[in-house]
Amino acid sequence: PETIYLKDYTPFGWQVSDVHLTFRLAPKSTRVISKIHFAPNPEAPAQEFFLHGEDLKLIRATIDGVEVTPEVTPEGLRCAVPDGPFLWEAEVEIAPEDNTALEGLYMSSGMYCTQCEAEGFRKITYYPDRPDVMSVFSVRIEGDLPVLLSNGNSVDRGEGWAEWHDPWPKPAYLFALVAGDLVNFPDRFTTRSGKEVKLNIWVRPGDEGKCAFGMEALKTSMKWDEDAYGREYDLDVFNIVAVDDFNMGAMENKGLNIFNSSCVLASPETSTDGNFERIEAIIAHEYFHNWTGNRITCRDWFQLCLKEGLTVFRDQQFTADVRSAPVARIENVAQLRARQFPEDQGPLSHPVRPESFQEINNFYTATVYEKGAEVIGMLKTLVGDEAYATALNLYFDRHDGDAATIEDWLKVFEDATGRDLTQFKRWYSQAGTPRVEVTEDWADGTYALTFKQHTPPTPGQEVKEPQVIPMAVGLLNPNGDEVVPTRVLEITEAEQTFTFDGLASRPVPSINRGFSAPVVLDRASSREERAFLLAHDTDPFNRWEASRLLARESLIAMICEDAGPDEAWLDGLERLLRDRDLDPAYRAMMMGTPTESELAQVLFERGHTPDPDAIHAAKEVLAQVKAERWADLLPGLAAEGTVDAPFAPDAEQSGKRALGAAVLALTSRLDGGKAARAQFASADNMTLQLSALAQIIRVGEDAEALAAFEDQWRHDRLVMDKWFGLQVGATAPENVVPRAEALTRHADFDWKNPNRFRAVMGALAMNHAGFHRKDGSGYRLLTDWLIKLDDLNPQTTARMTSAFQTWKRYDAERQALMRAELERLQAKPKLSRDTGEMVARILG
């Protein structure tokens, strides 16, 4: 397969002023008629006329009304064209019903829908399918279905047809069409300049009752973007459609967002607090793309972080504002460490702005999204809130209507602040997680902190230059008072020292407060110091971090030295848990421990060979010790974690339920699951029902509860996804593979549906000790199914191969087993380009 390079970027030879599309819908034979005005692009070098097109049957093509016979290849077509402007017309036939890749125009539960990002439009018609070609689209849909939707504003409609016009020039990846027997949940929003906007959430009949929360989230997002960024909505209508078969979370098509139904439909009975929070964030994210992504788009796919990093950053700011900022920050960092760090520290490591790819869908990664957002957070920390606001206004003014680059983005900050961002730009070009070693010195009232930064080599990048690291630091005196409030140290050198004068006693440092830089800190600090920060740090993030490090070191000692759990830490934690002034959500997070996968990574870095069973066993012992030690504390905490008011999915109630769930996880180790069974029987919302079911499964006697749950919910696909996933996720390691295997034989294991496939196979890959069974059965089962899915849906298959990205951490036997499975996948006949690229990169 061909590799595409950033350095080879060349503009397209023509501009497109307008596009008219007519769709005659039929499941096996949809006709797409296109009329496109092309005019030579004065800024582009001479080139042959090439339009992308895949799996299209060309019926006819004309230029200025005269029939032409283009040269058709599997990737598109070439054609001789006039020197000046011309009108291109083509008719193609496609078969949405046979489209199992869920890219282009396809069918889901009887409804037509599209997914065009990144390169799906070329499966709809011949077109320059690249984000720097922007045009005004008019669409006519003909089909015998009650609801026919496309981007922009509704122009006219009648029985069996509808016409849409989107006045905002856009790239083809933002095109969308939906047609089906749908009902809407309507509302309205008045923008701050007084424009009335119709809002609709379109769902299958029966799902109307699950739209209210998403609609509120949409209105809150619209208001927030006006208040925080001065951005108003720009069309008469904003449509959201829920689709059951979708490769990812949602898509920001202009004026017609399409959502995986799991990311928009919600009700207290069927959705957990976690679902509600995620839905709120995704609705906000897709809405925010209207400005960061749609009005200002990307010049090419290498610039993906321009829209994704910024939009994630914006949705994280939104969540911090509408919920709890410290809790949101901790959740974001935990996610970053769980998903982005393994990527950045393994064979899939790539820069936030990659420089080459074979299949762009493989680069919608945690690095582009989440690290991309961290980079923007650092930029904001460095320039300050005011300059950040000025730079963003300049960005919107200067680049509205553009297909922009990271250079454009950094330039607005340089122009707004006078700063030189040449070195900062390395965050976009250098892959890998920087490691920062910290040492300290104390003499005569002066305290010195020395930072040494180093980024390990990553594939294709042996040598790294020092990066700009904004390190937020505060100092506490031995009494626990803050003597130096948070200050941002700007590290630019490979080694750099900062001093603090006039201190009465040697301070205790609190470093990388709020996780001001996405780095790994290497600092030898004592247990006592960590316990001190756990008790006294004024920075809520670092207080949590202190507990995390204590937990991690305690577990490592249990694994490597057969030690018992760290008593001092457990005492400190207990004091904190008893502090009723602390937010229950925050206390719930404090009760968490590092994931088994993270422990495996730390052991590996320290030269040990991680043993997944030993890691799992240590976590079990720790949980048992906590439960016994805190037996008299738990009932009080459980009471604090109980909500008496009617269900609301807000931060306050969900924080309480999170505390309740953390307590139940311990209580069930003392009572054999009695409290969990009682909660399961009386639960009137999914959060309580599912947290109880998780404990029942963990304890082991779960047949009755699982059957009851299935009986209650078999009609609801989204709830049944939870049922499938939890059985694999919460069960004991030795049962994980047999259970997953048995579930693949369940009549409702509709594996062509990405949500269902991920529910089982994703849970298998995420269950560390279960997936890494010594006999290789976990690796084998996943690979069997990846091989099966690849023929139908390359995108989801490729994404799930990343379960193997950490293979080099483990012992020789496991490595050999994983390598063999990767090679078996690689040898599959007709392996997709998507999966082929991933496997090759993972094998290295």
Question: Residue 611: which of ligand B3K, Zn ion, none does it interact with, CB under 5 to 8 A by kind?
Answer: none
Nearer to ligand B3K, 285 or 513 (CB): 285
From the CB of 73, what's the least distance to ligand B3K, in Å? 24
Question: Residue 793: which of ligand B3K, Zn ion, none does it interact with, CB under 5 to 8 A by kind?
Answer: none
Q: Which amino acid is at 776?
A: G
Query: What is the C-alpha to C-alpha distance for residues 243 and 801, in angstroms, rounded to an integer?
Result: 24
Q: How far is CA 180 from CA 96, 214, 728, in A?
A: 13, 21, 35
Question: Residue 118: which of Zn ion, ligand B3K, none does it interact with, CB under 5 to 8 A by kind?
Answer: ligand B3K
From the CB of 300, what's the least distance to Zn ion, in Å? 17
From the CB of 100, what's the least distance to ligand B3K, in Å? 16
Q: Determine the distance from the C-alpha atom of residue 356 to the mean position of all C-alpha atoms in its chain, rounded to a whole number.
A: 21
Of 33-41, 248-256, 615-623, 721-729, which part binds ligand B3K (CB under 6 A)?
248-256
Per-position x/- string for 284-313, each x denoting binding to ligand B3K as judged by CB under 6 A, each - no binding: -xx--x------------------x-----
343's CB contacts (< 8 A; 6+ apart) are 349, 365, 366, 367, 802, 805
From the CB of 583, what's the least distance to ligand B3K, in Å? 30
Residue 829 CB-half CA count within 13 A? 0
In order, the DSSP letters of 332-369 are: HHHHIIIIIHHHHTSTT---SS-SEES-GGGG--HIII
The strand pairing partners of 196, in sequence order, are 190
Nearer to Zn ion, 293 or 474 (CB): 293
Nearer to Zn ion, 306 or 697 (CB): 306
Residues of this chain, 114-133, that bind ligand B3K according to CB under 6 A: 117-118
Nearer to ligand B3K, 304 or 589 (CB): 304
From the CB of 308, what's the least distance to Zn ion, in Å? 5
Strands (E), 477-577: 482-491, 495-500, 508-511, 520-522
From the CB of 372, what's the least distance to Zn ion, in Å? 10
Nearer to Zn ion, 309 or 733 (CB): 309
Going by C-alpha positions, the residue among 44, 91, 40, 43 that lies closest to residue 68 is 91
From the CB of 796, what's the least distance to ligand B3K, in Å? 10
Nearer to ligand B3K, 250 or 599 (CB): 250
From the CB of 363, what's the least distance to ligand B3K, in Å? 9
What's the residue count for the chain?
844
Nearer to Zn ion, 34 or 239 (CB): 239
State the Cα angle at 745 between 742 and 747, rounded to 5°.
Answer: 130
Helix or strand run (H / E) with residue 541:
helix 540-561
Question: Residue 803: which of Zn ion, ligand B3K, none does it interact with, CB under 5 to 8 A by kind?
Answer: none
What 8-state DSSP symbol labels residue 470?
E
Of 247-255, 424-432, 710-718, 816-824, which part binds ligand B3K (CB under 6 A)?
247-255
# residues near ligand B3K by CB under 6 A: 12
Helix or strand run (H / E) with residue 560:
helix 540-561
Question: Residue 248: which of Zn ion, ligand B3K, none does it interact with, CB under 5 to 8 A by kind?
Answer: ligand B3K
3-state secondary structure of 396: helix
3-state secondary structure of 210: helix
Query: What is the C-alpha to C-alpha distance for residues 693 and 673, in angstroms, rounded to an integer?
Result: 10
715's CB contacts (< 8 A; 6+ apart) are none
From the CB of 301, what's the least distance to ligand B3K, in Å? 10
Of 191-199, 249-257, 489-497, 550-558, which part binds ligand B3K (CB under 6 A)?
249-257
Query: What is the C-alpha to C-alpha distance for residues 549 and 555, in angstroms, rounded to an integer?
Result: 10
Of 283-291, 449-457, 469-477, 761-769, which part binds ligand B3K (CB under 6 A)?
283-291
In order, the DSSP letters of 141-167 are: EE-SSSEEEESSEEEEEETTEEEEEEE
Per-position x/- string for 291-330, each x denoting binding to Zn ion as judged by CB under 5 A, each - no binding: -----------------x--x-------------------
3-state secondary structure of 819: helix
Nearer to ligand B3K, 248 or 389 (CB): 248
**Of residues 14, 38, 233, 364, which one binds ligand B3K by CB under 6 A?**
364
Nearer to ligand B3K, 286 or 343 (CB): 286
State the Cα angle at 807 between 743 and 761, rounded to 5°.
Answer: 15
**Of residues 142, 225, 252, 553, which one binds ligand B3K by CB under 6 A?**
252
**Of residues 4, 248, 488, 570, which one binds ligand B3K by CB under 6 A?**
248
**Of residues 239, 297, 361, 668, which one binds ligand B3K by CB under 6 A?**
361
Nearer to ligand B3K, 171 or 565 (CB): 171
Q: Which amino acid is at 765?
A: A
Question: Residue 361: which of ligand B3K, Zn ion, none does it interact with, CB under 5 to 8 A by kind?
Answer: ligand B3K
Question: Residue 364: which of Zn ion, ligand B3K, none does it interact with, CB under 5 to 8 A by kind?
Answer: ligand B3K
Is 567 an active-site residue? no
Query: What is the C-alpha to C-alpha distance for residues 418 and 465, in angstroms, rounded to an integer?
Result: 23
Question: Residue 251: which of Zn ion, ligand B3K, none does it interact with, CB under 5 to 8 A by kind?
Answer: ligand B3K
Helix runs in 579-685, H state only:
584-590, 596-605, 612-629, 634-640, 651-667, 674-682
From the CB of 291, what's the least distance to ligand B3K, in Å? 13
CB 391 within 8 A of CB 419: no
The long-range contacts involving 748-753, CB below 8 angstroms and separated by at least 24 positions, are 748/714, 748/720, 748/724, 749/724, 751/785, 751/788, 751/789, 752/100, 752/245, 752/792, 752/793, 753/244, 753/245, 753/717
Nearer to ligand B3K, 509 or 794 (CB): 794
Going by C-alpha positions, the residue among 567, 557, 689 that lies closest to residue 625 is 567
Among 117, 286, 331, 374, which one carries the catalytic annotation?
A: 286
Q: Can residue 790 be called a binding residue for ligand B3K (CB under 6 A)? A: no
**Of residues 162, 235, 251, 740, which one binds ligand B3K by CB under 6 A?**
251
Q: Determine the distance from the C-alpha atom of residue 705 to the mean position of all C-alpha atoms in its chain, rounded to a whole number.
A: 32
From the CB of 190, what's the least distance to ligand B3K, in Å? 26
Residues that bind Zn ion (CB under 5 A): 308, 311
Active site residues: 286
Residues that bind ligand B3K (CB under 6 A): 117-118, 248, 250-252, 285-286, 289, 308, 361, 364
